[in-house]
Amino acid sequence: MTLTQEVRRRRIVEAAIDCLARDGWHATTLAAVAAEAGISRGLISYHFAGRDDLHRAVLESVAETIFGAGSEATQARIDAATSARDKLAAYIEGNLRFIAEHRREMAALGQVMPNLRRDDGSARFDDAAEEPIIAGTALLFEHGLATGEFREIDPRTTAYALRRCIDGAAVKIVADPGFDIDAYARELTALFLRGVQA
């Protein structure tokens, strides 16, 4: 792929993200994306096999930003913390801060994840797809148990509860532009730290 083709492909993906975030899944047609990108619909067909192919590219792009860059930034904060309590606080605050800084991508992700299907028609995202995130979060609670800072808890159940709270904030911040995610981060951090303390 030439540099020009790569730039054009990237522009199409960015236009699709804008359409998904602003107009939703059903309104994000190839024609709408072409209009957003300022190109012909035929040019999209040159780069993508169809709407699903484009949406998969959107998912890859957003996942790279959200799960790649977001994980790296949050992990750096966690690694810098010395206690299990501080690591948990860094995890919560880092995730929510990243969500706040990437509303557009979160809105697009919220449209793609429940709607994108496999070839057999089944949902592309199910419990198995979330397993690595839950397992990684559970490690924080396992660490707190090992150091004696956390009371006896089930790390996976607690990790699942925390992820629901973080993912819920991602939905809320898209639906409500006035949502105070900083206040939410403070309350959620305090709630979990008090809830797990030994």
Q: Is the pLDDT confidence value at 70 over 80?
A: no
At residue 120, the pLDDT reads: 86
Same domain, 180 and 155: yes
State the residue for tokens 């925390």: 162
Same domain, 118 and 184: yes
Is residue 29 domain-resident? yes
CATH code, 177 = 1.10.357.10
Same domain, 20 and 111: no
Q: CA-CA distance, 198 to 196, in Å (whole number)?
A: 6
- Its pTM stands at 0.85
At residue 63, the pLDDT reads: 78
Between helix 84-101 and helix 181-196 the angle, nearest 10°, is 160
Residues of the chain with pLDDT > 70: what percent?
99
Same domain, 187 and 111: yes
Q: CA-CA distance, 194 to 107, in Å (whole number)?
A: 31
CATH code, 11 = 1.10.10.60
Same domain, 89 and 3: no
The average pLDDT across 162-178 equals 93
Same domain, 38 and 134: no
The average pLDDT across 154-183 equals 95
The average pLDDT across 159-183 equals 94
Residues whose CB is less than 8 angstroms from the CB of residue 180 and which lie 6 or more positions away in sequence, other chains included: none
Give the tokens for residue 42. Answer: 């035929």
At residue 162, the pLDDT reads: 98
Find the domain containing 76 and state its range.
Answer: 58-196
Nearest CA-CA partner of 103 in 179, 52, 6, 2: 179
Same domain, 172 and 85: yes
Structural element, H or E, at residue 175: helix 155-175
Q: 3-state DSSP call for residue 44?
A: helix
At residue 65, the pLDDT reads: 75
Same domain, 44 and 65: no
Give the tokens for residue 34. Answer: 């072409």
Q: Are 96 and 180 in contact (CB under 8 A)?
A: no
Is residue 53 domain-resident? no
Nearest CA-CA partner of 175 in 113, 120, 110: 110
Domain tally for the chain? 2
At residue 16, the pLDDT reads: 95
- Lowest mean pLDDT, pick from 30-34, 119-123, 174-178, 186-190: 119-123
